[in-house]
Structure 1
Amino acid sequence: MRKAEKEMTSLTRRSVLGGSLGLGTVGALARPYIANAAATTAEMWWGQGFAEEEDISLKKIVADYEKASGNKVDLSIIPFAPLRQKAVSAITSGVVPDIMETADLEFAALQSWDDKLLDVGDIVETQKKDFVKIAVDSSFLYNGITKKRGYYMVPLRITGWPFHIWRSLVEKGGAKIEDLPKTWDAFLDFFMPVQDNLRKQGIRNIYAYGYQLTANGVDPIATYNAFMIAYGGKDLVTPDGRLHTDDPQVRAAAAKAIERLTTPFKKGYVPPSCVNWNDADDNNAFHSKLMVMDFDGTISTEVAVFKKKEDYNDIVTMGLPLGNDGEPLPAQIITNGAVIPKGAKNVAPAKEFLKYLAQPKLLNEWLKGGLGRFMLPVPELVQSDPFWLKEDPHRKSYAELTLLGPSMPIYEVYNPATAELNGEHAFSVAMFDVMNNGMTPEQAIDKAFKRAEAIFAKYPIQQA
């Protein structure tokens, strides 16, 4: 990681096309929002990109805004793990910037519950008609003080969890990418014989999977959720905010996910070091070809080697396979955006900048400048701009996963209790209980579910 730097400066393809007519012409998109406000400064904290192009693109947007408005944005670009800690510390102390990126799954949901964020509905409304519904809905969070929902985050980009596969390692292991099965379990099982064949060739340091079986960061949470959903457990938490640990189907799916993630580890198909990884370590391990396949959010894996064309072109990016029943699986979509914390000293210029940044045309240019690591949450532009669906196979697979297939929000949107539960990494602890403490998956889930029930009891959601 580079040091932090500071600069002044469920959708189908048919429904996406049918629901995006309100965007208007490209000419209309090109007119940036600039209010005639007195020149002033807003302080903004943002997460560092995986590729330098992401940071360069953000700085350009900021510089363009400053030139057009006369305002200033005091931009701090911070590695994402320190940003998480810094953001929470700022909220706790009350000494906050004017704009903060939501650097993890928990921050916006928990701070909304505690009434620590300003309602930004006036910003969301300016672009609501053009954004994909899941991005807008994911910004509509519950406030535990007012006992109602509001827009406490400005949605700016979305992401899902694709698979990343080394074609050359698959072939070296005696298989072909074109032979990958189409259903979940068969797809996953495909990679174990690849490792076996590599071992027969005397290659001891390449593993089948790069699963994040750790208790650090976002990756193990999203990985576990995807597996649980694949086995029928998507209703662990429902849109009304209720927990369903008493549902036999959810309980069975939760235990099956634990089994399917821990068994390859115990059999030696996952690097032993994965239990200590942070969110960047699987990327680094994949780039060093420590594993054949990784399951990781965004296409940061790909954009990090964008300039190394041999590696970039050797990686295959794939969305979710079908469920074991042959039906499409919903992708859990994370909406990333910006919040204005209560206590911010420069609310007016902060809102001015976010209204500017949230315009679809400008968002598109920003995210394209960042090599498409995050997906643009504007269906019409993704469909019409060749950058997303025609020019690059990685971005095409990513767009199809995040924007064109069945989807659902993360559980934190439904109830911030999920954020506290995942802050404790309860399901990672369940995996450790199986891998290290001799528990069965069912016993580990019983323990995790009891903890979930205790936490959810503290977060009652009043229904509208």
Structure 2
Amino acid sequence: MIIIRHKFLAIILLFILSFILVTCSASQPQNSVQKSQSDRVLTIWWNRGFYPEQDEALQKVIANWQEKTNKKVEISFFSTDDILAAGNDALAAGKPPDIFFSQIGEFTLIPQWAWEGKLVDVSDVIEPVKNLYSDSVLKSVYLYNNVESKSSNYSVPIMQQGIHIHYWYDLIREANLEEEIPKNWDEFWQFWQNAQKNLRKQGKNNIYGLGLPMSIDATDTSTVFEQILEANNLQIVDEQGKLQIDKPEFRQKIIDILEWYTSFYKNGYVPPNAVNWRNSDNNTNFLNRNSLMTINPSMSIPSSQQEDKEIYLNQMRTIDFPNNPNGTKPISLVSIKQPVIFTSSAHPKLAKEFLSYLVQPENLGPYIKGARGRYFPIMPQLWEDPFWSDTKDPHISVASQQLTANQTRLFNNSISPAYSQVYSENIWGKAMRQILIEGLSSTEVTDIAIERITEIFSQWETRQ
């Protein structure tokens, strides 16, 4: 009887032990889930810089934030040509990063993503530092959400980019043109043609006067051409975003400007491969000394030569644009660089926390300087750093003066989301290709461009 009782007690004890083990086992996944939620990883996709210092500056900000908050960050860098496609693919798959930054995003997809309701409202990130921005900067990130029928802040402004002219000072001296670069419009462009002619007489047949982008594969083509349109007082959209291209005088101006711009290529003053350039190719062509000057929508060209003081300080120069054809002072077009958070991102709250940290002047200032002058501040107090006004630097100080002393204007994508599609399709690059490769007239391609731009705006209106 005692033996039976002992066996019975043993069975009960085994049952209790099994129940405990099963219970512990069942609770384990829940604990794991709780642990994974507390150890969330913030994913960031960021446009790779042109040189390591820019990426290292961002990684330092990230490291400081991780140490301060005990949060984890996983950052991936993409090339300029790849990041937008990667972002679109991730959105389509429903697995976008938490924070996304493309250096050409504001020209192309950001206004469209905001319109389609794909971006998180980041007003609470901007509000605490709102008084540190100018009205025009705030306007650049105040976008329309057609899904929610409202305008708000759907991206975070961090820095700005202008359009700059660089030239080889030593080659100009070799061309026996040591006089100051002309300030008047026609004389300015003739100067580079004269310099090329003089160098050709010396047997330097591989040097071209004007390194102007003219391809459909480079967004530089559109940005540079937009600056030319601005110089000619031709604004495709008004301040309210209304298309003005249907006005007869606008059509004729576009015809004339396209004819003028492409004539440099036709007459042999632009490198033959300019019709096939990607965004980095005008940089490469210029740095290989195949062109006397080039126009570039950032300061990446001189910044890449800072280690070679002879080139940076003595051989290369950065200058402002000439006066407009009507004699007025130039207005510089600027774009505001802006990371975004997708509505389908996994950790939008965590993303806001990091961006709130990034935009603090003590964090943003070092990051922009880490770009070595490629980009410039948008917070007035950051301009006070002597780095931007040091006249011993013949490039950054000139560009800083251009952006602070001259009048500036935002690109049309900040006025109308429809115009971002004009940039995305590189309408002006297509027009140049049709003239230079396909042999169409500037009148024909202007009509094609006007028809397509009008169609784009009509499509956007029907989406409202």
- TM-score, with normalisation over the residues of structure 1? 0.88
Cα deviation digits, residues 45-82 of structure 1 (max 9, x gap): 11111121111111111111111221122111111111
Amino acid at match of 1:175: L
Structure 1 residue 433 displacement after superposition: 2.2
> Which residue is equivalent to 1:273?
273
Amino acid at match of 2:298: T
Structure 1 residue 206 displacement after superposition: 0.6
- Show structure 2 runs of 5+ residues with no match: 1-36
> Which residue is equivalent to 2:147?
145
Matched ranges for 1:242-391 at <5 A: 242-313=242-313, 314-382=315-383, 384-390=384-390
Cα deviation digits, residues 236-274 of structure 1 (max 9, x gap): 112212111123443233223212220010011111111
CA distance in 2, matches of 1:55, 1:200: 44
Structure of larger gyration radius: 2
In structure 1, the residue corresponding to 2:45 is in which secondary structure? strand
C-alpha spacing 1:95/1:82, structure 2 compared with 1 (3 Å): same
> Which residue is equivalent to 1:60?
60
CA distance in 2, matches of 1:357, 1:337: 12
Cα deviation digits, residues 275-321 of structure 1 (max 9, x gap): 11110111111111110000001110011111122221221112222
Cα deviation digits, residues 133-164 of structure 1 (max 9, x gap): 32221111122223332111100010010101
> Which residue is equivalent to 2:27?
none
Residue pair 1:41, 1:72 contacting (<8 A) in 2 also: yes
Amino acid at match of 1:271: P
In structure 1, the residue corresponding to 2:362 is in which secondary structure? helix
CA distance in 2, matches of 1:303, 1:461: 44
Residue pair 2:218, 2:278 contacting (<8 A) in 1 also: yes
> Which residue is equivalent to 1:128?
130
Structure 1 residue 393 displacement after superposition: 2.5
Residue pair 1:39, 1:70 contacting (<8 A) in 2 also: no
CA distance in 2, matches of 1:115, 1:416: 13
Amino acid at match of 1:192: Q
Matched ranges for 1:191-202 at <5 A: 191-202=192-203
CA distance in 2, matches of 1:259, 1:457: 27
C-alpha spacing 1:405/1:438, structure 2 compared with 1 (3 Å): same
> Which residue is equivalent to 2:418?
417
Question: Which of 101, 108, 111 in structure 1 is aligned with 2:110?
Answer: 108
In structure 1, the residue corresponding to 2:241 is in which secondary structure? coil
In structure 2, the residue corresponding to 1:77 is in which secondary structure? strand
**How many residues align structurally?**
424
Structure 1 residue 436 displacement after superposition: 2.9
Amino acid at match of 1:226: Q
CA distance in 1, matches of 2:462, 2:324: 31
Amino acid at match of 2:76: S
Amino acid at match of 2:128: T
CA distance in 1, matches of 2:176, 2:378: 39
CA distance in 2, matches of 1:185, 1:359: 44
In structure 2, the residue corresponding to 1:341 is in which secondary structure? coil
In structure 1, the residue corresponding to 2:395 is in which secondary structure? helix
Structure 1 residue 452 displacement after superposition: 0.6
C-alpha spacing 1:407/1:38, structure 2 compared with 1 (3 Å): farther
Sequence identity (%) = 29
Residue pair 1:183, 1:323 contacting (<8 A) in 2 also: yes
Kindly indicate whether residue 191 of structure 2 is the aligned counterpart of residue 190 of structure 1.
yes
Kindly indicate whether residue 460 of structure 2 is the aligned counterpart of residue 459 of structure 1.
yes
Amino acid at match of 2:48: Q
CA distance in 2, matches of 1:444, 1:199: 33
CA distance in 2, matches of 1:132, 1:387: 21
Amino acid at match of 1:97: P
> Which residue is equivalent to 1:90?
90
> Which residue is equivalent to 1:212?
213
Amino acid at match of 2:158: L
Residue pair 1:430, 1:445 contacting (<8 A) in 2 also: yes
CA distance in 1, matches of 2:276, 2:437: 14
CA distance in 2, matches of 1:333, 1:385: 21
C-alpha spacing 1:158/1:92, structure 2 compared with 1 (3 Å): same
> Which residue is equivalent to 1:80?
80
> Which residue is equivalent to 2:20?
none
> Which residue is equivalent to 1:16?
none
In structure 2, the residue corresponding to 1:403 is in which secondary structure? helix
Between Structure 1 and Structure 2, the one with more helix by share is 2
Cα deviation digits, residues 342-366 of structure 1 (max 9, x gap): 1111111111110010112221111
Cα deviation digits, residues 382-441 of structure 1 (max 9, x gap): 1x2110012522111211223332111111111121122222222112112222333332
Residue pair 1:224, 1:257 contacting (<8 A) in 2 also: no
- Deviating more after overlay: 434-443 vs 119-128: 434-443
CA distance in 2, matches of 1:397, 1:247: 37
CA distance in 1, matches of 2:218, 2:109: 12
In structure 1, the residue corresponding to 2:460 is in which secondary structure? coil
> Which residue is equivalent to 2:160?
158
- Show structure 1 runs of 5+ residues with no match: 1-36
> Which residue is equivalent to 1:394?
395
- Deviating more after overlay: 188-197 vs 246-255: 246-255
Amino acid at match of 2:59: K
Kindly indicate whether residue 452 of structure 2 is the aligned counterpart of residue 433 of structure 1.
no
CA distance in 2, matches of 1:94, 1:324: 50
Kindly indicate whether residue 176 of structure 2 is the aligned counterpart of residue 174 of structure 1.
yes
- TM-score, with normalisation over the residues of structure 2? 0.88
> Which residue is equivalent to 1:45?
45
Residue pair 1:239, 1:414 contacting (<8 A) in 2 also: yes
CA-atom RMSD in angstroms: 1.9
CA distance in 2, matches of 1:200, 1:312: 27
CA distance in 2, matches of 1:451, 1:71: 48
Q: Which runs of 4+ in 1 moved over 6 A?
A: none
Residue pair 1:265, 1:271 contacting (<8 A) in 2 also: yes
Residue pair 1:232, 1:250 contacting (<8 A) in 2 also: no
Structure 1 residue 461 displacement after superposition: 9.5
C-alpha spacing 1:403/1:102, structure 2 compared with 1 (3 Å): farther
CA distance in 2, matches of 1:261, 1:411: 20
Structure 1 residue 184 displacement after superposition: 2.5
In structure 2, the residue corresponding to 1:154 is in which secondary structure? coil
In structure 2, the residue corresponding to 1:169 is in which secondary structure? helix
